[in-house]
Amino acid sequence: MTDGAASRRRFLLGSATGVGAAWLELRWPAILAAAAEAQQAAKSGQAVFEFFTLEQAAEVEAVAAQIIPSGDKPGAQDAQAVYFIDRALNSFDHDKQRIYTEGLPALESKVRELFGGIDRFSKLNSQQQVQLLTAIQDTEFFELVRIHTIMGFLAKPSYGGNRDQLGWKAIGFEDRMSYKPPFGYYDAEYQKDQK
């Protein structure tokens, strides 16, 4: 299934049944628009932020890059999870904007508090970043960035993250419409034993 088909389906859902379903009306047109825009931006190679300023995006991206770091396999930064988060906050999670608008300045204060002289999380070295995030890992802000980063790594690419399905590839998931048995090691072994 292509992303184009997916958008079409989402559009159909919005138009055919949205009138009757108040809750769909509330959320899905916004998501549809966000997804379409994300795809368009990705195609043109000029992804833009809708909710974050460039400075905020850099901060969020740096936090995300510590939550799922890059390494042998791609991490959140490679998968562009920050674009997912940006879209989410302008669509289905718009009611969570406050957590970022209040959390980012608090993050800055914490940076200054722990590392006087530096004013941005993204300017800290990796060790300092880990130290800082460890200090705030029980906050509402960190927990939301954590959930959003995971989503931005593993949700359908049409939401703006999981670029080139890097997140799915990293964990060994494929999105296909059909498979044939055997599916895994143990059922293959089981079938062999049956013969």
| Residues that bind other proteins in the complex, under the rule CB under 8 A | 1, 6, 9-10, 12-13, 16-17, 19-24, 27, 31, 66-69, 71, 73, 75, 92, 130, 133, 137, 146-147, 150-151, 153-156, 159, 167-168, 170-181, 183-187, 189-191
Please say which residue, 114 or 119, places its beta carbon nearer to other proteins: 114
Please say which residue, 47 or 78, places its beta carbon nearer to other proteins: 78
Closest contact distance (angstroms) between CB of 66 and other proteins is: 6
Closest contact distance (angstroms) between CB of 112 and other proteins is: 23
The residue count for the chain: 195
Please say which residue, 21 or 119, places its beta carbon nearer to other proteins: 21
Closest contact distance (angstroms) between CB of 98 and other proteins is: 16
- Cβ atoms 71, 166 nearer than 8 A: no
Closest contact distance (angstroms) between CB of 179 and other proteins is: 4
- Cβ atoms 152, 83 nearer than 8 A: yes
